């Protein structure tokens, strides 16, 4: 298996995965419409990897174009990142999410079927566990969606499972990511949110660089030791490695469809994340406690036994490395790919 089509390959997780694939001697073909990324990501990737990378600028819902790519390239497997991911936005613009995430995935699967490419790794999310009763989260446990974004992830998992039942030559994997953090060790690619960040780490680094005044901590009255929410943060380079392990697993797997958590298995509170950033930045992060954010769970972290046993994958990097690398990227590129 040599030629890997990566949809959304210039996005945050996709770009790090592209580098990991190249390091492991895969050929990469990127498809991205730059709806949430910057064309300069390609330059950064080519500089870091020191090779040319093939990229098709197109929307995966453009079936004709996608077919052309499958006709021209001898694709062996697909890693599918392309989709919208903002939970809050999905509540107000559900059709935008259903259209892009579902239509995009169905179009991709139809084209894969037509060209007999039946290996796919899909980006799912830890949010599919809904409002769980106990921790850590294990793959077989009940799922639920509290917003349209998460519902698209669950629907796609169902579609993949149905496909695997319909034809036993499909090999489909869903990876449920926990909270990605960090950036490439070069500091030249990283998370590059449009506008004001929704997520904790980019918000903190933008406060530290002086773009934002202060962090708003969404609630300190949760039933946790320091009252703030606990999440399972995982270095984006570890996540990227998980995709290479997933591809290797698909080569020999007898299962048509399977699901794996990708997390570190450890939980950190918002205050602990602030402290870790303060250590690497060597400055205090100004913050204010505000009310809870709707839909936030007090605690989530993964059981990673299945990924360890079957994929031979385990997160290696600790929270200091995650904060250091996020900060390094922010410091080196205060305006993201505009610098
Ligand atoms: P991202 O927005 O940085 O990357 C997604 C990429 O897909 C972008 O480059 C965007 O331009 C592209 N894209 C979107 N729709 C497209 C379309 N129709 N055609 C072609 N390209 C398209 O997001 P990310 O953080 O790298 O996440 C990648 C995947 O992982 C997403 O599916 C997301 O839902 C999932 N995920 C992300 C997180 C997270 O916290 N970052 C957590 C769990 C799951
Ligand atoms: N938080 C703040 N202030 C902020 C941003 C976040 O206090 O400005 C808190 C949140 O309340 C939460 C924690 O920091 O307690 C982490 O919040 P994030 O928004 O960074 O991450 P979430 O766990 O809410 O969700 C993220 C992505 C989802 C993804 C999920 C995977 O937004 O898309 O991780 O578990 F699916």
Is 149 a known active-site residue?
yes
pLDDT at residue 1 in the model? 62
190 CB within 6 A, ligand 1: no
Of the residues 149, 233, 268, 301, only one is catalytic, namely: 149
Rounded Cα distance between 77 and 235, Å, is 24
pLDDT at residue 125 in the model? 98
pLDDT at residue 12 in the model? 98
Q: Which residue ranges form the domains of the chain, and what is each CATH number?
A: 3-181+233-263+304-313 (3.40.50.720)
Q: Residue 234: which of 161, 312, 177, 149 has the closest Cα?
A: 177
- The three-state secondary structure class of 95 is helix
Q: Ligand 1 mean position to 11 CA, how many Å?
A: 6
pLDDT at residue 338 in the model? 86
| Cα angle value 60/63/65 (rounded, 5°) | 80
Beta bridge partners of 31: 7, 56
| Cα atoms in the Cβ-side hemisphere of radius 13 Å centred on 168 | 2
179 CB within 6 A, ligand 2: yes
Q: What is the DSSP string of 64-77?
A: HHHHHHHHHS---E
> Which numbered ligand comes closest to the C-alpha of 300?
2
Going 275 to 281 to 287 to 292, the CA torsion angle's sign is negative
Q: Whose CA is nearest to atom 34 of ligand 2?
A: 179
Q: Residue 6: which of 310, 246, 311 has the closest Cα?
A: 246
Say which residue the tokens 């077919």 belong to. Answer: 67
Q: Residue 289: which of 276, 273, 270 has the closest Cα?
A: 270
164 CB within 6 A, ligand 1: no
Rounded Cα distance between 3 and 34, Å, is 22
Q: Which atom of ligand 1 is nearest to the CA of 126?
A: 43
pLDDT averaged over 10-residue windows placed end to end, the chain, 339 residues: 94 98 98 97 98 98 98 98 96 97 98 98 98 95 96 98 98 98 98 93 97 97 97 98 98 96 98 98 97 94 98 98 98 91
Q: Ligand 1 mean position to 82 CA, how many Å?
A: 5
> Which numbered ligand comes closest to the C-alpha of 302?
2
pLDDT at residue 339 in the model? 72
Cβ–Cβ under 8 Å, residues 261 and 126: yes
Rounded Cα distance between 182 and 189, Å, is 10
Say which residue the tokens 């819902």 belong to. Answer: 61
pLDDT at residue 205 in the model? 97
Q: Whose CA is nearest to atom 3 of ligand 1?
A: 11
CB atoms within 10 A of CB 177: 21
């Amino acid at each position: 298996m040599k030629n890997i089509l990566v949809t959304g390959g210039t996005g945050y997780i996709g770009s790090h995965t592209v580098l990991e694939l190249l390091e492991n001697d895969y050929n990469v073909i990127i498809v991205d419409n730059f709806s949430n990324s910057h064309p300069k990501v390609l330059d950064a990737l080519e500089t870091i990897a020191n090779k040319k990378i093939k990229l098709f600028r197109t929307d995966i819902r453009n079936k004709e174009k996608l077919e052309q790519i499958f006709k021209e390239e001898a694709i062996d497997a697909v890693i599918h990142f392309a989709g919208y991911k903002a939970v809050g936005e999905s509540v107000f613009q559900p059709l935008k999410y259903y259209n892009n995430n579902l239509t995009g995935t169905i179009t991709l699967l139809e084209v894969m079927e037509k060209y007999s490419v039946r290996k796919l790794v899909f980006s799912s999310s830890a949010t599919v566990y809904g409002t769980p009763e106990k921790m850590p989260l294990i793959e077989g446990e009940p799922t639920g969606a509290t917003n349209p974004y998460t519902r698209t992830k669950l629907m796609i998992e169902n579609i993949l499972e149905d496909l695997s039942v319909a034809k036993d030559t499909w090999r489909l994997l869903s990876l449920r990511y926990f909270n990605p953090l960090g950036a490439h060790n070069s500091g030249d690619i990283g998370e590059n949110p449009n506008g004001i960040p929704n997520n904790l780490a980019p918000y903190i680094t933008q406060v530290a660089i002086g773009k934002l005044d202060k962090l708003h901590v969404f609630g300190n009255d949760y039933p946790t030791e320091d009252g703030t929410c606990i999440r399972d943060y995982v270095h984006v380079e570890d996540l990227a490695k998980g995709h290479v392990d997933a591809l290797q697993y698909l080569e020999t797997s007898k299962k048509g469809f399977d699901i794996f958590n990708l997390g570190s298995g450890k939980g950190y509170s918002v205050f602990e994340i602030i402290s870790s950033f303060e250590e690497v930045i060597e400055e205090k992060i100004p913050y204010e406690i505000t009310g809870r954010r709707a839909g936030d769970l007090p605690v989530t972290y993964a059981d990673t036994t299945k990924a360890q046993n079957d994929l031979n994958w385990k997160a290696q990097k600790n929270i200091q490395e995650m904060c250091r690398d996020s900060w390094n990227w922010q410091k080196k590129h205060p305006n993201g790919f505009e610098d």
